[in-house]
Amino acid sequence: MSASVDSSAALIPAVAQGDMAAFEAAYDRYSGTLYALLLRILGNAEDAQEVLQEAFVKVWTTARMFDAARGSEVAWLISIARSKGIDKLRSRKIRSDRENDAGREISIHSAFVDKTTGADVAILSQERIAVRNALAELPEAQRIALELAYFEGLSQSEISERLHEPLGTVKTRMQLGMKKLRERLQAFR
Amino acid sequence: MIAHDEAQEIAALDAVGAASAEEERDLGEHLAACAECRRVRDEYAEAVTLLARGLTPVPPPAELRELVVSGEAADNVVDARRRFGSSKWWLATAATIFLALWGWRELTMRVEREKYATQEAEIRRLAEDNLRLSQNNEKLSAEMASLASAGTRTISLSGQQAAPSASARVFLEPERRRAIVFFYNLPANAKDKSYQLWIITAKPQSAGVFDVTGSGNATITIENLPVATEIKALAVTLEPRGGVAQPTNSNFFVMGSSSL
């Protein structure tokens, strides 16, 4: 059996059946997003490539655990890659080095989640544009708190220290931000 | 178990990897019994991936695709784990040696700290003993000086019915209105009782309380005595511990008249 490479077709159930073509299609479809995520988390290509390999090995070996009723396959793959990326980040203690660059990274990321215009449109899918616009609607303080947790694996108290904000404030911002993301999610399902 | 609202708030944090260990535990307990909150948790888990889905895709190097789809990536991972595994015994040995050295050092430091604390306590105890002995020495010197004073008068108290073999000797310095009293052969008092010395003038005045242990002997020093000529007699009764304002009984243990 060979999976369709139609961008809307689910691939992971076929991968779970040992369909190599579906696995290749999944790689082609998602590796760019996962690699971008890992670059964002790890900050260097070598680590990102190593973790990307590990992530796809895990996809191949655990595909049967994917449950479409619980979420989309892109979310499932992103969760695997993010988890492995954060593990790598922590294991290599990259965090301390990255902290020095934290302000720069936030500003970089803040710049690219701004509403997309001009030439960017040509290289972005409609969904990505919609996602970026949804993210841009988040208040900056909420988005920054979420990004520090998601991309840098920081705890509530670490974020509180980093932003010089009370722990309760940080927690509330993250919860409000997540509620808004959940509301926006309906448009991408 | 936490309420649904709280569970869903924690689920929001958990999705972004920011829930504390305690919150994760509470959430896990709640989710185990709540399908609705599990659904919300799944939605948060999906929603947080929007952060990644907003990133501009970056194509990985072409050779990486070959590694992944050919299965070499899996081999690489296995090899990497095997390499890690083969080096594990070195790590384990190094860790064991480190822990042993660290443990020995900690143990040694702990023993030294305890030894130091014990020595400090001993020094404090000796200093307190020294102070107490110095005070006793001063007191004895004062008592010796009192006894040796030319103006010192002596009053003998004899045992009464309650303690026929008891006795006491009072060395009184009228000029300084001070006395030292030595008691002999008094029965040991019970813990809830005290002996109380009375100076009998127009009426009994307490001159102090004291305890007698197994030896039957005791000594007390009395300051601010009444004018000597007003002292008619001295007597000892057994009273409730700490003494009383006036004698509660006339069962005297020792008693004697003043002839001053």
Q: Do B68 and A156 touch (CB under 8 A)?
A: no
User: Between A38 and A6, whose confidence is greater?
Assistant: A38
Q: What ipTM does this complex have? A: 0.82
Q: Do A32 and B57 touch (CB under 8 A)?
A: yes
* B76-81, long-range: CB < 8 A, 24+ apart: B76/A53, B77/A53, B77/A54, B77/A57
Q: Do A33 and B57 touch (CB under 8 A)?
A: yes
Q: Compute the average pLDDT of residues B190-201.
A: 92
Cα–Cα distance, B159 to B81 (Å, whole number): 97
Q: Do B57 and A79 touch (CB under 8 A)?
A: no
Cα–Cα distance, A79 to B50 (Å, whole number): 11
Cα–Cα distance, A147 to A181 (Å, whole number): 13
Q: Do B12 and A175 touch (CB under 8 A)?
A: yes
Q: What are the chain A neighbours of B76 within 8 Å (beta carbons)? A: 53
Q: Do B57 and A27 touch (CB under 8 A)?
A: no
Query: Per-residue confidence at B182, pLDDT binned at 50, 70, 90?
Result: very high
Q: Compute the average pLDDT of residues B199-207.
A: 88
Q: What are the chain A neighbours of B9 within 8 Å (beta carbons)? A: 175
CA distance A75 to chain B (A): 6
Q: Do B60 and A40 touch (CB under 8 A)?
A: no
Q: How many residue pairs from chains A and B have C-beta atoms closer than 8 A? A: 154
B17 touches chain A (CB under 8 A): yes
- Closest Cβ opposite residue B55 in set A40, A56, A72: A40
Q: Compute the average pLDDT of residues B48-62.
A: 91
B202 touches chain A (CB under 8 A): no
Is the sign of the CA dihedral A15, A21, A23, A27 positive or negative?
negative
Reduced to 3 states (helix: H, G, I; strand: E, B; else coil), residue A7 is coil
Task: Report how far apart, in Å, the C-alpha atoms of B57 and of each of A7, A34, A164, B54, B60 are.
Answer: 15, 8, 32, 9, 9
B214 touches chain A (CB under 8 A): no
What pLDDT score was predicted for residue A6? 45
User: Between B100 and A115, whose confidence is greater?
Assistant: B100
Q: Do B51 and A184 touch (CB under 8 A)?
A: no
**pLDDT at A18 > cutoff 80:** yes
- Closest Cβ opposite residue B73 in set A39, A40, A53: A53
Query: Per-residue confidence at A3, pLDDT binned at 50, 70, 90?
Result: very low
Reduced to 3 states (helix: H, G, I; strand: E, B; else coil), residue A182 is helix
Q: What are the chain B neighbours of A35 within 8 Å (beta carbons)? A: 57-60
What pLDDT score was predicted for residue B74? 63
**pLDDT at B94 > cutoff 80:** no
Convert the pLDDT of each residue in A160-171 to its tens digit: 999 999 999 999
Count of residues for chain A? 189
Q: Compute the average pLDDT of residues B196-223.
A: 89
Convert the pLDDT of each residue in B57-76 to its tens digit: 999 999 998 888 877 666 66
**pLDDT at B92 > cutoff 90:** no
Is the sign of the CA dihedral A115, A118, A122, A126 positive or negative?
positive
Q: What are the chain B neighbours of A32 within 8 Å (beta carbons)? A: 57-60
Highest mean pLDDT among A41-45, A131-135, B136-140: A41-45
Q: Do B44 and A182 touch (CB under 8 A)?
A: yes
B47 touches chain A (CB under 8 A): yes
Q: What are the chain B neighbours of A78 within 8 Å (beta carbons)? A: 49, 52-53
- Closest Cβ opposite residue A134 in set B42, B50, B69: B50
Convert the pLDDT of each residue in A62-120 to its tens digit: 999 999 999 999 999 999 999 999 999 988 765 555 555 554 444 434 433 433 344 44
B91 touches chain A (CB under 8 A): no
Query: Per-residue confidence at B83, pLDDT binned at 50, 70, 90?
Result: low
B49 touches chain A (CB under 8 A): yes
Angle, nearest 10°, between helix axes A167-185 and B35-48?
90
**pLDDT at B212 > cutoff 60:** yes
Convert the pLDDT of each residue in B101-153 to its tens digit: 877 777 778 788 888 888 888 898 898 889 889 888 887 887 777 777 788 88
For chain B, what is the mean pLDDT?
85
- pTM equals 0.54
Q: Compute the average pLDDT of residues B163-191.
A: 90
- Closest Cβ opposite residue A75 in set B17, B45, B54: B45
For chain A, what is the mean pLDDT?
81
Identify the weakest region by mean pLDDT among A106-120, B92-106, B177-191: A106-120
B73 touches chain A (CB under 8 A): yes
Q: Do B52 and A37 touch (CB under 8 A)?
A: yes
Identify the weakest region by mean pLDDT among A19-28, A107-116, B175-184, B246-255: A107-116
